[in-house]
Structure 1
């Protein structure tokens, strides 16, 4: 009887599966390539980039509307009858695509489209809402401004317009509106849940 019990005990011990180490939270995070120590600062870095570029768009709108004397003198302010786009577009006249862009100078619809874009993109980025549309519209605007300046004076092909465009795309892909912004609230609204493109 004792021998039989001993035999069964040995079989149980022999066939017991080897213990599998349970990965800790740190192991799982390390495997994913991101740790809490890096994820949080990265989110704040993206948020700072978002707000910074948003302010560039928003400030351009305000300065062109009121003529606060930074890039736009008061007598050329939009409120005083100035055209926000004419100076830039006419200045592109000698460039490779100057004929195309120069022909747009002075048209009211061009001014309204440009200024609406500046305001909408700036507000969306600063608040962290509508990031996908803001990134798409901002990228289009920046690429057009880059094209108007070809050939570039200081670089064969790259300038700040394309760098800002790349950052805008990164902001949208990273979902950067949720940190220091209203992105989480915006994404939970019924409108955005019904139309995710507005996220």
Structure 2
């Protein structure tokens, strides 16, 4: 009994009628890709805004006299407020330490920039996810919900952004992914 071998098929995208994809299909963005791209850019702006406001004290979340460039500590306000929480002793002990401030601020800047540009989403998702889980843990027990708050939701969205290659739509992710350094180190995608 002879078998015929058809053309190789790639993964099937929802909404597409054929299992076969061409190079044009792989480059074409679907509506869901734009949703992920807008979520990526919006979340990137949240991280970048936090960096800018804490650095310059634009008066929304950070007063000018508490700005990082004015000698303020970007971690003190949040972490000192966790002293009575379940893990508060650990987290409040980190408040105001120079290395923690630098790590936090570089994280906000790097994560925000990567998300807005659409490059380095895997590293941004890992770093941002860890940051969000630490911030969630610092607030335990939670005031408004016993288990979940926005920090965990942000961590899940960051993972979704990285796994869906959200930087390829409305971002430089596709171009970034073709660079030799990223091809050699896919974690940098």
TM-score after normalising by structure 2: 0.87
CA RMSD in angstroms comes to: 1.8
Corresponding residue pairs, total: 171
Q: How do residues 162-181 of structure 1 correspond to structure 2 at under 5 angstroms?
A: 162-181=152-171
Alignment correspondent of 2:97? 107
Q: How do residues 49-198 of structure 1 correspond to structure 2 at under 5 angstroms?
A: 49-198=39-188
Task: Mark the runs of 5 or more structure 1 residues left unpaired by the alignment.
Answer: 1-21, 23-27
d(CA) in 2 for partners of 1:192, 1:33: 25
Q: How much does 1:116 deviate? A: 0.4
Give secondary structure in 2 for the equivalent of 1:53: helix
Q: How much does 1:72 deviate? A: 0.1
Q: Alignment partner for residue 44 of structure 1, among 13, 27, 34?
A: 34
Task: Mark the runs of 5 or more structure 2 residues left unpaired by the alignment.
Answer: 1-5, 18-28
Q: How much does 1:57 deviate? A: 0.3
The answer to which structure has the higher helix fraction is 1
Q: How much does 1:197 deviate? A: 1.1
d(CA) in 2 for partners of 1:32, 1:123: 32
TM-score after normalising by structure 1: 0.82
The structure number with the bigger radius of gyration is: 1
Q: How much does 1:36 deviate? A: 5.0
Sort the Cα spacing of 1:33 and 1:132 in 2 relative to 1 into closer, same or farther, 3 A. Answer: closer
**Structure 1 moving runs of 4+ over 2 Å:** none
Q: How much does 1:33 deviate? A: 5.6
